[in-house]
Amino acid sequence: MGNITLKRYLELLTIYAKMDLGALLRDTKFMLVALISDICADISAISGIFLLAWKFDGIGGLGKYEILFMLAYGGIVNGTISIFDHGNASFPSRIIGRGQWEHMFIMPLPYSIQMLAGFFPFTCSGRFISGVILMCFAVPHLTVVLPWWWIFLLIGNIIISMVIIVGLSYLVSSLTFYAPVQCEEISSTVYCYFRSPYRHPLKDGNTERRFYFGLFVYLTGSN
Amino acid sequence: MTISKYIKTAQIALQTQTNGGIVYMFPQIITKIIYLVPLMFIWRIITSGGADSGMTLNQLLSYTYINALLANILIVDTFINDWDSAGKCAILFTRPMSVFGQVISRTVGEWVPTLLMFSLPMALIAPLFGIGIIPQTPWVIPSLILCASLGFAFEFLFFCITLRLKNVVWLMWVIRSAIVSFFSGTVIPFKILPFGMEKWMVFQLFGSLGGATLSLYVGSAEPMQIILAQIFWNIIIWTITVI
């Protein structure tokens, strides 16, 4: 298969972005409805915890804007995964289970590049946009003083969170080689396991609770 | 003779859930537990802080626990959405049974394995966690039936809407799930919502779904108010659905 250069990889991202823009312009009404439904779904999913935080002025030692920041962070992580998730790249068990993994053998690109080259910044950015909006609203109200390099730390944490979630998805997807039909949706099931805890502030003074849920909190990047 | 067709349909649906063995139900069960546990910890954190939420810790824990046990009944989700996206809905009209009847009987059949394998064991071990599962009023039973009835009405109504709109099955499902999850009150009880929302949320359309029954279960709402609202919305939505 061989390696490709960074320039070629960026060209591939550009091609996908152009195709995505073409899809948006071809059926703008449908795509805008899809985008808005993503935003509505994300906001609805977090609104319960957010309203609780507003009512009780924070939960478990976190202030209401810190909880909003936490929810925004999770939204950005999930949204960024959606933007790069072309052809179920973050759910490889579906590719394997449907017999599409073999299709990748005949393409003149390394497997890793085929999975990483997907880029849908126009039609799959709903969740990312809602996360960014919430974060822009939360950050100015945080009580901590943020240094100038904080944004790089944020981006680094987002990347690490994405790598952990997608890595676990790939790990469990290896089971699909042994049981293609039964494990076709295993990666999406595992992915869903992380989408619930990230919305819940589990930080409190109880050391035992923090220990038991430390892994969930770290994996979902909500700490 | 007529009812035996629907009983047989329910029986077949029950068997399809466990065709590959009961092990295949474990991911569903694990998912339910993973969604249940963080929320229960949230309630403990909130009430341990001394905040007045309007409900006691026992009520909040019972609310969330019973929601997990009866989730399939409180928010009805049938197979017709999957069949719609797969183009299999025409099959419903070729069988010598009413469409409503076969969808309801098949869905009820699909509920049974989860109720037996998850809900029943969890109900039996609830006292070990200090969670009360005895309903505070007998009005819970008719409320649960009305809740399920309204859930089915919504399913058929959204099915008709997706047929009209053609290629938006997934989008409709996403929007509907988002709206129902919050406005039904199954995740966050209406009574503890801020900005005075609890006063009108109980009477809105989706408020007569799971949240209504759960409120009666834990004794945080007036039975007559809830039952009358459920009857009202059942009449309205079923009328629109049938038309």
Reported ipTM: the value is 0.73
**Residues of chain B contacting residue A38, judged by C-beta atoms under 8 Å apart:** 174
For B189, name the nearest residue in chain A, comparing CA atoms only: A48
Q: Which helix (H) or strand (E) holds B39?
A: helix B26-48
Q: Which of B28, B39, B41, B166 to mutate to test the interface with A (most CBs of A within 10 A)?
A: B41
Q: Is B193 on the interface with A (CB under 8 A)?
A: yes
Which residue of B lies nearest to A56 if distances are taken between CA atoms?
B51
Q: Does the beta-carbon distance from A41 to B178 stay under 8 Å? A: yes
Residues of A in contact with B197 (CB under 8 A): 51
Instruction: Output the six-digit token pair for B243.
Output: 């038309």
Annotated domain spans of chain B: 2-242
Best to test chain A binding among B18, B44, B46, B173 (most A CBs inside 10 Å): B46
CB contact under 8 A, B182 and A59: no
Taking CA atoms, what residue in A is nearest to B187?
A: A48
pLDDT of residue B234: 93
Q: Let me know if A105 is exposed, middle or buried by CB neighbors in 10 A (0-12, 13-18, 19+).
A: exposed
Which one of A31, A49, A56 would you mutate to disrupt binding with B, by most B Cβ within 10 Å of its Cβ?
Answer: A56
Reported as half-sphere exposure (CB side, CA atoms, 13 A), residue A142 has a value of 17
Structure tokens at B9: 């349909």
Task: Tell me what pLDDT residue B97 has.
Answer: 86
B interface test, pick of A26, A42, A52 with most B CB neighbours within 10 Å: A52
Give the pLDDT score at A194. 67
Percent of chain A at pLDDT above 90? Answer: 11
**Distance of alpha carbon A113 from the chain centroid:** 19
- Structurally, chain A folds into a number of domains equal to 1
Interchain contact B39–A (C-beta under 8 A):
yes
Looking at the domain assignment, is residue A96 inside a domain?
yes
The gap from C-alpha A145 to its chain's centroid, in whole angstroms, comes to 27
- Cβ neighbors of B234 (< 8 A, separation 6 or more) are B146, B149, B150, B153, B208
CB contact under 8 A, B45 and A201: yes
The band of A190, judged by pLDDT with boundaries at 50, 70 and 90, is confident
Please tell me the distance from the alpha carbon of residue B33 to that of residue B49, in angstroms, as a whole number: 25
Has residue A211 been placed in a domain? yes
Whole-prediction pTM? 0.80
Chains A, B: CB pairs < 8 Å: 86
Q: Decide if A172 touches B, using CB distance below 8 A.
A: no
Averaged over A36-53, what is the pLDDT?
Answer: 81
Domain span at residue A38 reads 6-220
Binary contact (A59, B41; C-beta < 8 A): no
Residue A213 clears pLDDT 70, i.e. is over it:
no
SS3 for chain A is: CCCCCHHHHHHHHHHHHHHHHHHHHHCHHHHHHHHHHHHHHHHHHHHHHHHHHHHCCCECCECHHHHHHHHHHHHHHHHHHHHCCHHHCCCHHHHHHCCCCHHHHHCCCCHHHHHHCCCCCCCCCHHHHHHHHHHHHHHHHCCCCCCCCHHHHHHHHHHHHHHHHHHHHHHHHHHHHCCCCCCCCHHHHHHHHHHCHHHCCCCCCCHHHHHHHHHHHHHHCCC
Residues B179 and B101: beta-carbon distance below 8 Å: no
- Could you list the mean pLDDT of each consecutive 10-residue stretch along chain B, which spans 243 residues? 83 82 76 80 78 81 90 88 74 85 90 90 88 88 93 89 76 80 84 81 86 89 90 92 86
Nearest CA to CA, how far is B27 from chain A (Å)?
Answer: 8
Does residue A73 lie within any of the structural domains?
yes
Q: Which chain A positions have a beta carbon within 8 Å of B42's beta carbon?
A: 49, 52, 59-60, 200-202
Beta-carbon separation of A49 and B42 below 8 A: yes
A193 and chain B: CB distance < 8 Å anywhere? yes
Q: Is residue A123 part of a domain?
A: yes
Q: A62-79 pLDDT, tens per residue? A: 888 888 898 899 889 988
Residue A8 has pLDDT above 80, yes or no: yes
Q: What is the pLDDT of residue A187?
A: 87
CB atoms within 10 A of CB A66: 20
Contacts of A49 in chain B (CB under 8 A): 42, 188
Q: Is B206 helix (H, G, I), strand (E, B) or coil?
A: helix
Query: Is there a contact between A118 and A84 (Cβ–Cβ < 8 Å)?
Result: yes
One DSSP character per residue, B134-198 reads: S-S-TTHHHHHHHHHHHHHHHHHHHHHHHHHH-S-HHHHHHHHHHHHHHHT-SSS-GGG-STTTH
Give the closest-approach CA distance of B162 to chain A in angstroms. Answer: 14
Is the pLDDT reported for residue A208 higher than 50?
Answer: no
The predicted pLDDT at position A37 comes to 79
Residue A1 inside a domain? The answer is no
Which of A3-7, A159-163, B1-5 is predicted with the least confidence, judged by mean pLDDT?
Answer: B1-5
